[in-house]
Amino acid sequence: MPLGNWEGADYDDIKPGDLPVNEIMDEGKVHYLQGIIPFVSNGLFLYSKSRRDNMKIEKISGLNMAISEMTKNRIDNLVKPQGSMGELENIAIRLAGIYEQPMPTITKKAVIVMCADHGVCAEDVAVAPPIVTLIQSINIAKGVSGVGALAKSLGADVIAIDIGIDCDVTPEPLLDRKIRKGTENIAVRHAMTRDEAISAIQVGIDAVQHAKANGYNLIATGEMGIGNTTPSTAILSVLSSKSPTELTGIGANYPLEKLAHKPAVIEQAISSKTIDKHDPIDVLAAVGGLEIAGLTGVMLGGAINRVPVVIDGFISTIAALLACEMDPSVRNYLFPSHASEEKSASLASQMLGLKPYLHLGMRLGEGSGAVIAFSLLESACAMVKDMITFEEAGISVV
């Protein structure tokens, strides 16, 4: 195939020699395509110049509908009125299709927390100083933050990753996957380069692959980054074409008397750039965050590896929107958790097409709401496994 004609071609038609490869690594690692997006030798292929229809993700297969149907038939015949377990029934049916098990089983669960700093904090868009990102990320990694306490109570592990904290040395027990020391100030320049956005996505994909290799088959998403509601709102403004003023909330208790300042900064960040809303990589590079890009990779990694991913609140939902923009089939592997109190979280959930299960008034982040939702997925599995059918109960008339 001529090198200039590879865009839009079927994966099977493309050979390594056809591609403008800058770097080829070991089997199973990343093959970078001239600053566009990585070709991964396990079968994942992503590419885009600017349009969604020129972006393709291989290796994301659909749910096993035959097994889902088997699970649905069992649920319909359990000793209860049909449909009386509500969303638990839908959860179980989808988990069966993901795991390809008529009686889905959750073995190990973890929350992956991406941690990064934001240059836009220089614009006074957050109450806490940026150093809190590092301090609280260490607390998350040690299991003594909000998400740590909740995860421990639910038998889940916390995997905290430094993907962009503004520090020279990543302190233990954080995992060092740093792309750069924080983003640029999006009010005056791009958050990161396109290559950096791609690399951050790959960190998320790799994190899920590594987790699955270590026996985890249920993942939640979490984040830590002072100021990260600002890039998240900027991304939502680009994707929804709504003004920052309509979308901007208080984040981590931003003063109401200063609230007009924050959307003005976001508007400046957007209006100062040409951003292709149909190219998630372009959006991330222009106004995103490293932890948001990493979480986008976690969503993709879940779909690639057939691992369900529970979405936390506003920031995680923004990452989910970007992942689904790259490939809508990712949505099959995503489960909502709670309805965040952040102002635009409901719009983000509506755009994603997933209705949150829990309404707890939470807006902490860190993955705190997502780990609580683990119990819903485990309850759905227990229903299928431990309830008996009418036939097994000897009941013929209901």
Known catalytic residues are 366
Task: Find, among 313, 320, 291, the residue nearest to 367 by Cα.
Answer: 313
- Per the structure block, which two tokens stand in for 7? 């865009």
Strand order in the sheet with 30-33: 21-24, 30-33, 37-40
The distance of Cα 208 from the centroid of its chain, to the nearest Å, equals: 11
Query: Do 294 and 201 touch, CB atoms closer than 8 A?
Result: yes
What is the residue-wise DSSP string for 119-155? GGGGGS--SS-THHHHHHHHHHHHT-SHHHHHHHHTT
**Euclidean distance between CA atoms 116 and 33, whole angstroms:** 26
3 state DSSP class of 184: coil
Residue 348 host element (H or E)? helix 345-352
3 state DSSP class of 389: strand
Task: Find, among 260, 207, 259, 265, the residue nearest to 234 by Cα.
Answer: 265
Helices (H) and strands (E) in the chain, counts: 14, 9
Task: Find, among 112, 127, 181, 166, the residue nearest to 366 by Cα.
Answer: 112
Residue 170: DSSP 8-state:
P
Query: Do 280 and 194 touch, CB atoms closer than 8 A?
Result: no
Query: Do 139 and 148 touch, CB atoms closer than 8 A?
Result: yes
Place of tokens 């099977």: 12
- Per the structure block, which two tokens stand in for 307? 């691992």
Query: Do 166 and 214 touch, CB atoms closer than 8 A?
Result: no
**Euclidean distance between CA atoms 284 and 210, whole angstroms:** 24
